[in-house]
């Protein structure tokens, strides 16, 4: 579903008081304020989505993840959908290649805050802000590489397993010998991210939970029960 609420439009004279209560990264906000560059902040609840397309003049916008995580799908005119990347805190998405032939859909995996900004002139940027952008690009390129390697897996089972492992090791919280993803991951989302379907994902999950220490509960929670014995049963 598209969101048209929880939108915070700020200009460079914003004060910290304006966003008290938001559990987000203040670093980007402070740097943009110091450079007097206007921006928007959007809140997405779990499974909320927004689109980036030519129609809404989203060309040359930076989308920065302040808090939470999203996955991005590229959707063409013929409805073909290609998973692009999963982004989390301090990673970014740059829209420089938008056309009328496709658009991007950004879907929240948990409660997420994103910041969008259009930078027309690099000379507007402070050296600290430029450094942050470069570091975020490096992180984002690594996330693109992970998605590329996952989608290059010929067998759907390997794609799903690799994506589950990515979630566990990128987002997982360690509790003694367990690693658990702190948010729910639905089979529908796993299917979209891996370019499969819900039925196939369900079959694969049933197989790997029987043969390994990975569990997927009815509450859509994923965890490894014993990280010191991560082998097939």
User: What is the torsion angle, in degrees rounded to the nearest 10, for the CA atoms of residue 148, residue 153, residue 154 and residue 157?
Assistant: -130
Q: What is the C-alpha to C-alpha distance for residues 11 and 172, in angstroms, rounded to an integer? A: 35
Q: What is the C-alpha to C-alpha distance for residues 3 and 5, in angstroms, rounded to an integer? A: 6
C-beta of residue 141 within 8 angstroms of C-beta of residue 91: no
pLDDT in tens, 66-94: 999 999 999 998 889 999 999 999 999 98
User: What is the torsion angle, in degrees rounded to the nearest 10, for the CA atoms of residue 116, residue 117, residue 118 and residue 122?
Assistant: -140
* pTM listed for this prediction: 0.80
pLDDT in tens, 132-172: 999 999 999 999 999 999 899 888 889 998 998 888 888 88
What pLDDT score does 11 carry? Answer: 37
């Amino acid at each position: 579903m598209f969101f048209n609420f929880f939108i915070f439009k700020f200009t460079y004279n914003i004060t910290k008081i304006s966003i008290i209560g938001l559990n987000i990264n203040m670093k980007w906000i402070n740097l943009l304020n110091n450079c007097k560059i206007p921006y928007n902040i959007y809140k997405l609840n779990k499974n909320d989505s927004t689109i980036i397309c030519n129609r809404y003049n989203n060309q040359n916008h930076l989308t920065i993840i302040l808090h939470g995580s999203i996955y991005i799908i590229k959707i063409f005119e013929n409805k073909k959908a290609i998973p692009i990347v999963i982004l989390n805190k301090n990673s970014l998405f740059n829209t420089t290649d938008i056309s009328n032939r496709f658009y991007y859909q950004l879907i929240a995996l948990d409660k997420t805050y994103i910041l969008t900004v259009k930078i027309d002139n690099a000379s507007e940027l402070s050296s600290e802000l430029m450094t942050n952008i470069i570091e975020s690009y490096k992180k984002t390129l690594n996330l693109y590489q992970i998605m590329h390697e996952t989608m290059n897996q010929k067998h759907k089972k390997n794609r799903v397993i690799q994506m589950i492992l990515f979630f566990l090791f990128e987002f997982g919280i360690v509790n003694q010998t367990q690693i658990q993803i702190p948010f729910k991951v639905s089979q529908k989302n796993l299917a979209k991210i891996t370019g499969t379907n819900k039925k196939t994902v369900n079959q694969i999950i049933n197989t790997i939970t029987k043969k390994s220490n990975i569990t997927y509960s009815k509450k859509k929670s994923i965890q490894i029960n014993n990280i010191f014995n991560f082998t097939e049963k």
